[in-house]
Structure 1
Amino acid sequence: MKLRQLECLCAIVDAGFNISRAATNLHSSQPAVGKQLRQLEEEIGTDLLLRVKGRPTALTPTGERTIEWARRSLQCAKSFRETAREAKVGEFAWTIPLFASHTLAKYIVLPAISSFLDAFPNGHFKVMQGLPDQAAQLMQDGEAMFGVAHQPRELPPGLVAIPFRTLDLALLAPARHPLLRLKQLTLESIATYPLIAQNTSRPQGARVMRTFFEAGLDPKPVVEAPDAEVVKAFVTAGIGVAIIPAFTFDARRDTGLRIRDASNLFGASVAAIFLKRDAHLPAYAFQFLEMLDPTLERRRIEGMIFGP
C-alpha cells in the first residue's frame, strides 16, 4: 500500500467522485489516478467505490471506513515532513497562519501576538477572520494552522476544539437606562426594549436569541450586527440595548455606556482553540498557544489531537 494510492482515493472523493477533476487537482492524468485506485482495491481485496456503468458514484461501506484512515495516514506523512523541515529551519524562522472571530482576534489574540513578537521577532502571523464552520476548510486547504473562536454546539468534522477561557455575557445599555436600575434583571425585562443583536449566523448571537426563545419570548431585534464593536456603536447611538461579552467593554473608552452582569440569564460562552485532528504543530506554535492561555499546554493539546 502506497501513500500515492491513498492520496488518489481522497482526491477522488474530494472531487465528487470525478476522476478527471481529481487527476487535475493531483497534477496527474486520469488513467494514472484510476490505476492507483484499482491497485489499492486489489490490495485490500474489495471495492472502495460504488460504480454505475464503470463510473464511481459513492463510497462502499468499506470505503467509508477506509477514507477516514487514509486521511489520517496522509496527515501523519505530512507531519513527518513538517517535523523534518522544522528541524532544518530552526525555531526562529516561523510563520503562524490562524483564523479567529473578529471579537476574539481583537481582545484575546492580539495581546498574545504582541507578546510573542516581542519574544520571537523573526517571523510573522497571518490572521484570517473565520467562524468554526469555516475552520475545517481552511485547515484542509492548509491555509490555517489553528483557529480561535467561540465553541459551537456542533463541531465541524475532522476538528478538535479545546476550550480555554470562559466568557461571561453582560447587558450593555446607555448610562441611566431603566434596565440598569432594576433590582433584578430578567429576560422579560430585557425583551421589552429594542435589541441590538449579533448575527444569528454566529454562535454567540444564536445562543442569545435561543435563550429568549426557550423562555417563551420572541424579541424583535431592531438591528443585527456582525460583532461586538458594531453592536456597541448602535447602543451608543441610543437605538437599543445589547448582550455582549463582558470583556469587550472598557469604561474608559466606551463612555456613555454601562454594563450589567447577565451571565445568570445567558450563561457564559466559551472560547476554544480549533485544531485539525492528528495534525503536526511546530514547537513555536505550542509556545504561542501557552502565551495565549497557560492552560493550553503541549501535553494537553497533543492528548486531544492524537487521542481517541
Structure 2
Amino acid sequence: MNLHQFRFVQEAVRRNLNLTETAKALFTSQPGISKAILELEDELGVDIFARHGKRLRRVTEPGAEVLKSIEVIMREVGNLKRIGEEFSKQDAGTLSIATTHTQARYFLPEPVSQLRKRFPKVNISLHQGAPAQVAQMVIEEVADIGIATEALAEHSELISLPCYEWQHAVVMPAGHPLAQLERITLEDLAQQPLVSYHPSFSGRTRVDQAFAARRLKPNIVLEAIDADVIKTYVRLGMGIGVLAEIAVRDDPPNGDLVSRPVGHLFGPNVTRVAFKRGAYLRNFVYAFAEMLSDRLNRGLITRAMSGDAADTGHDYQL
C-alpha cells in the first residue's frame, strides 16, 4: 500500500464517489484511480466501497474504518511536510486564512499587518467564504486557521477557541427618525424595512430569534453577505441596516450614516478561531493567533490541540 492509494480513496469520498471528478482534481486518469483502489482493497482484504458495475455507490462499514485510518495517516504526512518547511525555512512560508468578508475587511487588517512586520518572509493567503465554507477549508487543510462567528464549533474535526465578543448595531441615514432615539426597541425596528446579513452570517440567527421571542416579524427587504453592501443599500434608502458593530466602528461621526448599538436587543456574539484537530502548527501560526486576541496564547492553543483544554467547542463569556 502507498500514499497515492490513500490519497485516491480520500479524494473519491470528497468528490461524492465520482471518479471522473476525482481524476480531474488529482490530475490523473480515472482507470488509474480505479486500479489503485482495487489493489488497496485486495491488499487489505476488505471492500472499501460498495459498487454497482464500475461505479462506486457507498462506503462500506469496514471502508469507514479504513477511511478513519487514512485521515490520520494523511494528516500526519501533512504535519511532516510542515515540520520540514518550518525547520528548513525557519520563519518563512505561507499562512492561509479562511474567514468571512466582515472579518477580512474590518478585523484582520491590523493583525495581518503586525504579522508581516514580525515575519517579513511569510506570505498571507486570504480565503473568503460563508462560515460553513470556512470550516470546510480548515478541515481540508486549504487553510491553517479559520475565523468566523458561526459553524466553527459544530465540527468535531476542529478545535475552536473564542477570539473576541461583539454586538450588533443599526445604521441609518443621518436624518432618520430613529437616529433621534436614545434607546431603540425591537418594536421600533419591526416597523422599518431592514437590510441585514444572510441567515448564515454574522449573528443573523440571534436577530431572528430576538424578533421571534417577542412574536414580531421583521420586514427584511434585502439580505447580503457583507457590511459594505448593507451600508450601500441603506444609503439608497432601502431600509435600516442591521450589522456587526465592527463594521461601523471607524465610520466618521459626521458622515451621511449614523449608527446605534443594539446589543441590548440581540445579545452578544463570539467570533472564534479554529484549527484542524491534530494538525502541526508552525511558529508563525501561533504568533498570528496571539495577535488576534490577548485571550489566545501558544500554551492555551497547545493544550486545546492536545485535548487538555476545558472548553474548546462552546461559547462562553470573554
SS in 2 for 1:222: strand
Contact 1:99 1:130 in 2 (8 A): yes
Distance 2:200 2:251 in 1: 31
Per-residue CA deviation, residues 113-155 of structure 1 (Å, 9 max, x unaligned), is 1122222223321223222221255346654222222223873
Partner of 1:275: 275
SS in 1 for 2:154: coil
Within 5 Å, give how 1:1-308 maps onto structure 2: 2-19=2-19, 22=22, 25-26=25-26, 33-34=33-34, 36-42=36-42, 44-53=44-53, 55-91=55-91, 93-139=92-138, 142-152=141-151, 155=154, 158-175=157-174, 177-182=176-181, 185-250=184-249, 253-256=252-255, 257-307=257-307
Distance 2:300 2:44 in 1: 36
What's the TM-score once normalised by structure 2's chain length? 0.81
| Unmatched tracts of structure 2, length 5 or more | 309-318
Distance 2:102 2:14 in 1: 32
Q: Which moved more, 1:230-239 or 1:75-84?
A: 230-239
Q: Which moved more, 1:72-81 or 1:48-57?
A: 48-57
Deviation at 1:111, TM superposition (A): 0.5
Q: Which amino acid aligns with 1:291?
A: M
| Unmatched tracts of structure 1, length 5 or more | none
Contact 1:152 1:203 in 2 (8 A): no
Per-residue CA deviation, residues 59-112 of structure 1 (Å, 9 max, x unaligned), is 112222331331122011111122012101111x23212132222112211011
RMSD of aligned residue pairs (Cα, Å): 3.1
Distance 1:31 1:194 in 2: 57
Given the superposition, is the C-alpha separation of residues 160 and 3 from structure 1 closer, same or farther in structure 2, using an over 3 Å criterion?
same
Distance 1:65 1:190 in 2: 52
SS in 1 for 2:218: coil
Contact 1:94 1:284 in 2 (8 A): no
Q: Which moved more, 1:119-128 or 1:236-245?
A: 236-245
Q: Which moved more, 1:187-196 or 1:50-59?
A: 50-59
Q: Which amino acid aligns with 2:57?
A: T
Number of residue pairs the alignment of both structures matches: 307
Given the superposition, is the C-alpha separation of residues 33 and 221 from structure 1 closer, same or farther in structure 2, using an over 3 Å criterion?
closer
SS in 2 for 1:291: helix
Given the superposition, is the C-alpha separation of residues 266 and 122 from structure 1 closer, same or farther in structure 2, using an over 3 Å criterion?
same
SS in 2 for 1:286: helix
Deviation at 1:192, TM superposition (A): 0.6
Given the superposition, is the C-alpha separation of residues 39 and 221 from structure 1 closer, same or farther in structure 2, using an over 3 Å criterion?
same
Given the superposition, is the C-alpha separation of residues 289 and 19 from structure 1 closer, same or farther in structure 2, using an over 3 Å criterion?
same
Q: Which amino acid aligns with 2:225?
A: P
Distance 1:161 1:302 in 2: 12
Q: Which amino acid aligns with 2:178?
A: L
Per-residue CA deviation, residues 7-58 of structure 1 (Å, 9 max, x unaligned), is 2321332343345654565455666544543454455443322123464311
Given the superposition, is the C-alpha separation of residues 90 and 193 from structure 1 closer, same or farther in structure 2, using an over 3 Å criterion?
same
Q: Which moved more, 1:77-86 or 1:6-15?
A: 6-15
Distance 2:215 2:242 in 1: 18
Contact 1:155 1:161 in 2 (8 A): no
Given the superposition, is the C-alpha separation of residues 31 and 118 from structure 1 closer, same or farther in structure 2, using an over 3 Å criterion?
closer
Distance 1:221 1:250 in 2: 23
Identical-pair percentage: 29
SS in 1 for 2:203: helix
Q: Which amino acid aligns with 2:285?
A: A
Q: Which amino acid aligns with 1:84?
A: G
SS in 1 for 2:120: coil
Given the superposition, is the C-alpha separation of residues 234 and 254 from structure 1 closer, same or farther in structure 2, using an over 3 Å criterion?
farther
SS in 2 for 1:162: strand
Q: Which amino acid aligns with 2:217?
A: D
What's the TM-score once normalised by structure 1's chain length? 0.84
